[in-house]
Amino acid sequence: LTVAVMFRGSMSMSEVDNQMFNVQDKNS
């Protein structure tokens, strides 16, 4: 979650959402 918040500063919300989905997909 912390990483996502940091990325929010340089990325758009959609980009962050995509990153979150990618991370969850790998963790699954």
CB 20: neighbour CB atoms within 10 A?
Answer: 14
The pTM assigned to this predicted structure is 0.33
> DSSP letters of 1-28?
-HHHHHHHHHS-HHHHHHHHHHHHHHH-
Domain regions of the chain by residue span = 1-28
Q: What pLDDT shows up at residue 3?
A: 75
- The token pair at 19 is 């990153």
Residue 15's pLDDT is what? 76
Q: Which residues contact 19 (CB under 8 A, 6 or more apart)?
A: 4, 7, 11
Distance CA 12, CA 27 (A): 23
Residue 6: per-residue pLDDT: 65
For 15, 28, the CA distances from 22, given in Å and listed in that order, are: 11, 10
Q: What is the pLDDT along the chain (28 residues), one digit of tens a residue?
A: 677 676 666 656 677 778 778 777 777 6
